A and B are shown apart, each in its own frame.
Chain A
Amino acid sequence: MFNRRTFCAFVTLAGVAIAAPVFAQTDDYPTRPIKLIVPYAAGGGTDAIARLVANGVGAKIGQSMVVENNGTAGGNVASQTAANAAADGYTVLMANQGPMVVNPHLFKNMKLDPLAAFDPVILVAQTPLVVVVSKSSAYKSFKDVVEYGKQNAGKLTYGSAGNGSASHLATEMLLTQAGITAVHVPYKGAGPALNDMLGGRGDFMITTLPSVLGLIDSGDMIPVAVTTSERVPKYKDVPTIAESGFPEYSSAAWYGFVVPKGTPGPIIEKLRAATTEALATSTIKERLEADGTTIVGNKPAEFASMMAAESKRWAEFLAKTGISIK
């Protein structure tokens, strides 16, 4: 009576019965608050953008979007937590350069492949990094720094926001292309590093534009180049690294949303639509653009191919330079 075939049919039916509420839920999603996991500590640049956008998305989608920070182990713990969460659209991960495309090649013991574990939703925004020197520095231009570095191997000192941070890697990429050796002094976050650059204890630093904006506007730090392939509208006179003799060079910090693999398509689309709407509101637009951040808001497929290309680029670079974290 109860042979294998009926048993299989039973299991299939049961499976459908269990899965049914999930499908039913896609229509009225979201019915409860959505969690946005941020792979950095509260108070940083990424956190500020996450909270600003989360607030806007919450208003558009009709449920609040709650930010949860976990900066442990370079953001890898946050990735792991998000990857293990149910693929129901109630857990969203803030996707950044470090945890998504750099860490898998940087951390020797990372088990997770972020590109396989998540479905992309939208690339929210991009922010350029800038090469800055102190106003009292002897270097007046990007060329000055590079020339000095080329002639005096190992004499340059640069600060970074931390080992493996966007700030560190963008500098290493420049140094590799220019054939310069310089001493890296890592800090915990851009602020303390900038303090030492201001005090004249380091030669230059590459850092995200929002982290140094106040000091640039006051004239205490001088931007000598930007890392993006195009110039930044806010500082039209500042050249890009690419046009200053390194055409291959381009680097930017970026902020996107991804969800655990297997999240239903309609839910991803709802999230994407709400985020796009939120990004169009004047408050969010103005605040992000005032920081020199560019709003993107693209399609999941575009975001996916961009991350794949970035991941490949960093894998090759890190393999070549041998930079790693055990």
Chain B
Amino acid sequence: MFDLLSNLFLGFGVALTFNNLFLCLLGCLVGTLVGILPGVGPIATISMLLPITFGLDPVGALIMLAGIYYGAQYGGSTTAILVNIPGEATAVVTTLDGHQMARRGQAGIALGIAAIGSFLAGTVATIVIAALAKPLTGLALVFGPAEYFSLMVMGLVFAVVLAHGSIIKAIAMILVGILLSTVGVDIETGEDRMTLGLSFLFDGIDFAVLAMGVFGIAEILRNLDNVETRDVVRQTIGRLLPGWKEFKQAAAPITRGTLLGSVLGILPGNGAVLAPFASYSLEKKISKHPERFGKGAIEGVAGPESANNAGAQTSFIPLLTLGIPPNAVMALMVGAMTIHGIVPGPLVMTSNPTLFWGMIASMWLGNLMLLIINLPMIGLWVRLLKVPYQLLFPAILMFCCIGIFSINSEPVQVLMIAFFGIVGYAISKLGFEPAPLLLGFVLGRLMEENFRRALLMSRGDMMTFIENPISAVLLAISVLLLAMALLPSLRKNRDEVFTE
């Protein structure tokens, strides 16, 4: 305990220097900006800014880069709520109820609760990292391919719960998502699959391209279809900040989301991506009024947003304690460390204590800064909704195109968002939802890779998924959830949970 305090004291000593405070603020501002702009993600930004950090000392450089990462999580939810475009996999869930709240004139409350929930989650997650980083690495190591596969199966069962329409249609969308995720080169054999011989499909479909198409472009098409609904959004703005009643409603979801996010973020196999989905499903499951979900339930914003931010923070644990990056952004952080002459690995904590504790302290300061930046900005963002739609949509389209082009400088990808936009429009006209499709897409890839790895290791023995206790428990939970949905005796119950 005393160690922790003295370490945190050391950390704040580093993070509170003028230089590092400034870099933290800069990182948060840049992060917020790239989070808000659809397409321009933290990956592109951090790789562009890497050379600029050469002149900085390593602690300052990493503080700034980390700020961009979690700043983008805050910014991303703003776009998801206001214009229904998830910039990253983790913001997909926020579009479900967040955007509905905006449509009902509660954009300010949604943005406010997202910012406050994220801050509280960030605070708890920072404490988790500070106090438990070392013992928690053990958890990262017990998760192997079999465990990840079962975790992803559980995630797909959540996806069924995500849907608020027909259960059959939700499952169909998940399967289409999984199918899309198998496009590209086979990781095991190197064979290319379903690429139609097109070289730009060799590495598969980019998440941002798919998400921006089926959500962003399709949303614009839907709105142009039906101008009156947009006018409703413009006229009723409502209160800007959440009140006591909303707080009381959101408190428990924030707590549960933070716990879920903190645990899933620790897994180096990109477990954080599941956190918001898991939180949303949990909230909908235990809610007394699950029918409110998908129509602007505040719990559906508060829980996932907290889970998302907690996961974003704790995903630093595998990086800082093992030197193993759980996702592409963390891989860039490894690169940044290497460039600055720091060898990422278990020794960072002892050989570079100023870096380790300085970064942790700066994360909490950064979250505080983001809260302070975001709350007064809400008024501004909400006013954005008053901009006439014929001016707003070309701007959104332009930002989408620039954002997509900035990822790989591939003009083909800009055409692909147009294609997926039309697809997204068509499927929503037929009563299908894009969220389960995206979840299937994100989890499908992880699921396939881990399934095949597990089978390679077990020499093709399927029992490996049941013999591993963690995997077995996760599969049992999935089966139970599915059974609850499908058993005839619980049918009435199921209808309440899954349909409007």
In the assembled complex, the Cα of A237 lies from the Cα of B336 at a distance in Å of: 30
Contact A72/B408 with A217-B347, A326-B191 known, Cβ cut-off 8 Å: yes
Assess the A326–B190 pair: CB atoms within 8 A: yes
Assess the B457–A44 pair: CB atoms within 8 A: no
Assess the B335–A183 pair: CB atoms within 8 A: no
A312 within 8 A of B: no
B128 within 8 A of A: no
Best-buried of B145, B322, B343 by chain A (most CB within 10 Å): B343
Assess the A48–B345 pair: CB atoms within 8 A: no
A318 within 8 A of B: no
Give chain B nearest CB distance to A72 CB in angstroms. 5
Q: Which of A42, A199, A202 contacts B335 (CB 8 A)?
A: A42
In the assembled complex, the Cα of A198 lies from the Cα of B140 at a distance in Å of: 10
Assess the B190–A195 pair: CB atoms within 8 A: no
C-beta contact mask, A33-55 vs B, less than 8 Å → 1, else 0? 00000000111110110011011
In the assembled complex, the Cα of A325 lies from the Cα of B140 at a distance in Å of: 32
Assess the B335–A164 pair: CB atoms within 8 A: no
Contact A286/B341 with A44-B335, A183-B456 known, Cβ cut-off 8 Å: yes
One of A142-150, A184-192, A239-247, A295-303 at the interface: A184-192
Give chain B nearest CB distance to A181 CB in angstroms. 12
A:149-176 near B, CB below 8 Å: 154, 157, 162-164
In the assembled complex, the Cα of A292 lies from the Cα of B323 at a distance in Å of: 17
Give chain A nearest CB distance to B287 CB in angstroms. 36
B142 within 8 A of A: yes
Q: Which of B51, B191, B331 contacts A44 (CB 8 A)?
A: B331
Interface residues on chain B, number (Cβ under 8 Å): 51
In the assembled complex, the Cα of A191 lies from the Cα of B47 at a distance in Å of: 19
B202 within 8 A of A: yes
A294 within 8 A of B: no
Assess the B343–A185 pair: CB atoms within 8 A: no
B223 within 8 A of A: no
Q: Which of A44, A196, A214 contacts B347 (CB 8 A)?
A: A214
Assess the A192–B268 pair: CB atoms within 8 A: yes
Assess the A290–B341 pair: CB atoms within 8 A: yes
Give chain A nearest CB distance to B352 CB in angstroms. 11
A:257-307 near B, CB below 8 Å: 286-287, 290-291
A117 within 8 A of B: no
Q: Which residues of B contact A77 (CB under 8 A)?
A: 199
Interface residues on chain A, number (Cβ under 8 Å): 54
Determine the residue in chain A with the shortest Cβ distance to B190.
A325
B50 within 8 A of A: yes
C-beta contact mask, A51-67 vs B, less than 8 Å → 1, else 0? 11011000000000011
Best-buried of B46, B322, B348 by chain A (most CB within 10 Å): B322
Give chain B nearest CB distance to A150 CB in angstroms. 19
In the assembled complex, the Cα of A183 lies from the Cα of B449 at a distance in Å of: 16
Q: Which residues of A contact B338 (CB under 8 A)?
A: 45, 48, 210, 291
A194 within 8 A of B: yes
Determine the residue in chain B with the shortest Cβ distance to A198.
B141
Q: Which of B142, B336, B408, B456 contacts A185 (CB 8 A)?
A: B456
Give chain B nearest CB distance to A232 CB in angstroms. 15
Assess the A186–B341 pair: CB atoms within 8 A: no
Contact A186/B188 with A45-B338, A55-B54 known, Cβ cut-off 8 Å: yes
Assess the B187–A162 pair: CB atoms within 8 A: yes
Assess the B203–A72 pair: CB atoms within 8 A: yes
A3 within 8 A of B: no
In the assembled complex, the Cα of A213 lies from the Cα of B341 at a distance in Å of: 12
Contact A69/B47 with A42-B332, A48-B338, A217-B345 known, Cβ cut-off 8 Å: yes
A11 within 8 A of B: no
In the assembled complex, the Cα of A290 lies from the Cα of B345 at a distance in Å of: 14
Q: Which residues of B contact A213 (CB under 8 A)?
A: 343, 345
Assess the B347–A218 pair: CB atoms within 8 A: yes
B:130-147 near A, CB below 8 Å: 140-145
Q: Which residues of A contact B203 (CB under 8 A)?
A: 71-73
Q: Which of A154, A163, A291 contacts B343 (CB 8 A)?
A: A291
Assess the A70–B408 pair: CB atoms within 8 A: yes
Q: Which residues of B contact A287 (CB under 8 A)?
A: 339, 341
Assess the A195–B322 pair: CB atoms within 8 A: yes
A113 within 8 A of B: no
Assess the B189–A191 pair: CB atoms within 8 A: no
A215 within 8 A of B: yes
C-beta contact mask, A192-226 vs B, less than 8 Å → 1, else 0? 10111011011000000010011101101000000
* Interface residues in chain B, defined as those with a beta carbon under 8 Å from any beta carbon in chain A: 43, 46-47, 50-51, 54, 140-145, 185, 187-192, 199, 202-203, 268-269, 318, 322-325, 328, 331-336, 338-339, 341, 343-348, 408, 449, 453, 456-457, 459
26 A-B pairs within 8 Å (CB atoms) are namely: A42-B335, A43-B325, A43-B336, A47-B335, A48-B338, A67-B51, A71-B203, A73-B185, A73-B202, A77-B199, A154-B459, A157-B457, A163-B188, A163-B189, A188-B187, A191-B325, A191-B334, A192-B269, A192-B324, A195-B318, A196-B145, A199-B141, A213-B343, A214-B346, A290-B343, A291-B343
Besides A163-B188, A326-B190, 7 other A-B contacts (C-beta < 8 A): A42-B50, A54-B51, A67-B51, A191-B334, A195-B318, A196-B453, A218-B346
What 5 A-B pairs come out closest when comparing CB atoms? Answer: A214-B345, A325-B190, A42-B47, A43-B335, A218-B346
